[in-house]
Structure 1
Amino acid sequence: MTQHFSKRPADAPLSERNPRVVSAVKLHRGAQRRKTGLFLAEGSNSVAAALDTGRVEELFFSGRAAEREHELVASAAASGVRTTLVNDRAAEQLGETVTPPGLVAVCRQVDVPLGQVLRSELSAGSDSGAGAEPRGGSGEHAGTAMAVTTQLESRSATVDHRHMALAGARLLAVPVEISDPGNAGTLIRVADAVGADGVVLAGDSVDPHNGKCVRACAGSLFHVPLARERDTDSVLTDLRTAGITILATTARGEVDLDDADEILRHPVAWLFGNEAHGLPPSVAAQADHRIRIPIHGRAESLNLAAAAAICLYASSRVQHRG
């Protein structure tokens, strides 16, 4: 495999004025990420996960990072990734944290069309998801989902949809209109930890390639299949067509989480509401069941990330117990 090295002397790293560095720094802006289909992954955890899935276009590193993460930089170069030494000022601009790690990768975006996540549910052993080759952006979601729906409907005369879902994915997290990048990243990390089969960001949600979200994921962004779909009703329709039981988390749900084991034995998609307002009543009403988390102390409620962790782990416990 051809290796791409920066042909500069070791004592002349790229500066913050270099065009490649300038272009990479622009990826801190959402508009530039949407335009290029690229984003930045900062720090060893995220960079290692990005390298493992083959999504890195270029790896920038400072002199201090080269000493600290020598093996990671060397393995990137050996795999054919362009590795580029930059000065401290460039490293500061490429990073977003108070103390930049000096290790930043330019990566191809990870989200896939909703239909691809649903197809992975219907095929045991599917190799789709975060590690797959990049597909088109969110503009293609509706068309792909329609194709999957048509495919499912054509099989409906002879195959039960719920049985098809049982052959593949059994657990999805569906945050609706999540706006805080830290919460989004934590939720994706939890989904990865429990072995969820995908995350679907429904409605007007935060960009998962936002730097704060990427850091909160701690590498999990590259492990879990992720879809974005602005039309929440379309997401619910496609989940239902795929035979997935839809669960809404609400404070006044008719089912207590402690009593939900029989429901959780089946393939489920958990709906989690916005941090400030929770799930819209119209969305919660479309769920198959509304689940409440029992609170035995005096806390009035739980934040989004805490509620998601409790519910997803409850599902994982039941499903892995068999």
Structure 2
Amino acid sequence: MLTNPRAERVKAVRALGRRSSRERAGRFVAEGPQAVREVLAFRPETVADLYVDPQVSERRADILTLAEEHDVRVHECSPEVIAAMVDTGQPQGLVAVCRPVDVPLKDALGASPQLVVVLTNVRDPGNAGTVIRAADVAGADAVLVSDASVDVYNPKVVRSTVGSLWHLPIVRGVSVLELFDACRGSGLRLLAADGVGTQLLPDTDVRTPHAWVMGNEAWGLEPAVRDACDEVVRVPIYGHAESLNLAMAATLCLYTSAQVMRRDA
């Protein structure tokens, strides 16, 4: 059992909270039962090591069974070691060190995609993770994350996806122009979601293949990016709220598309 919170192995896991360390090691951290269960169920080959508090493992036998089935290395750790590995205030006793799961752009868009979301300049980890989760709920074909957006392997992003990171293709580190060219090459219309849009979401044609383009939390889409899209769509607000946050707007747009496309299928 690992009991020393200052051990080099523990420090190496903790360092994966920093982007530079993740890129150097080619690893990232998934923490908590939901995230660990989903990566073991959907992408077990990407799990390099699993660290477990024995007190938690007694309650999460299903997770350990998955790890055993896929020959994942399991290390028992004291609660102090688990706490030293992660940046959460209340560690949940399970930490998986994982290999990246993002895919090349051509692979993500290679099978006639119908519904995609593009994050052009999203900086908040919670928003990025929630959009990935919403895309999963809506049955989207892929999430394309530009090089100007937050790293999808940021621990807060991973937690916010609640396991959806391993459910659908994720592209990262590509310029917005490249993403747009690839989307158009795959037959996708580009729908900019922005508060300045004159086209309302309920009036927008979402029956044909398209990509929702989402911008920054504070200033929305840059004018050049917005102008490069085929339509600029606004979610109507019927009450007194000034606006919706990014994740809420993306969820509404994606779910509207999913409902219409499945109804007309």
Whose radius of gyration is greater, 1 or 2? 1
- Provide the rounded CA distance (Å) in 2 between the counterparts of 1:25 and 1:296: 46
- Provide the rounded CA distance (Å) in 2 between the counterparts of 1:217 and 1:277: 23
Which blocks of at least 5 consecutive residues in structure 1 are unaligned? 1-11, 124-167
Partner deviation per Cα, 1:91-145 (whole Å, 9 max, x = no partner): 10112221100100000111112122121xxx3xxxxxxxxxxxxxxxxxxxxxx
Please give the TM-score of this superposition, normalised by the length of structure 1: 0.78
Say if 2:3 and 2:80, in contact at 8 Å, map to a contact too. no
Shift of the 275–238 alpha-carbon distance from structure 1 to 2, 3 Å rule, reads same
Partner deviation per Cα, 1:175-206 (whole Å, 9 max, x = no partner): 11100000000000000011001100124110
Q: Does 1:232 align with 2:176?
A: yes
Q: Does 1:207 align with 2:196?
A: no
2:18 counterpart (3, 18, 29):
29
Which blocks of at least 5 consecutive residues in structure 2 are unaligned? none
RMSD: 1.3
Task: Please say which of residues 14-23 and 31-40 is displaced more in the overlay.
Answer: 14-23
**1:253 aligned counterpart, secondary structure:** coil
Q: CA deviation at 1:14?
A: 4.2
Partner deviation per Cα, 1:129-166 (whole Å, 9 max, x = no partner): xxxxxxxxxxxxxxxxxxxxxxxxxxxxxxxxxxxxxx
Other-structure match for 2:127? 183
Partner amino acid, structure 2, of 1:69: R
Q: Name the % identity.
A: 40
Matches within 5 A, 1:1-322: 12-52=1-41, 53-54=43-44, 55-119=46-110, 123=111, 168-260=112-204, 263-322=205-264
**Runs of 4+ displaced beyond 3 Å:** none
Partner amino acid, structure 1, of 2:33: S
Partner amino acid, structure 2, of 1:234: E
- Provide the rounded CA distance (Å) in 1 between the counterparts of 2:54 and 2:133: 30
Please give the TM-score of this superposition, normalised by the length of structure 2: 0.95
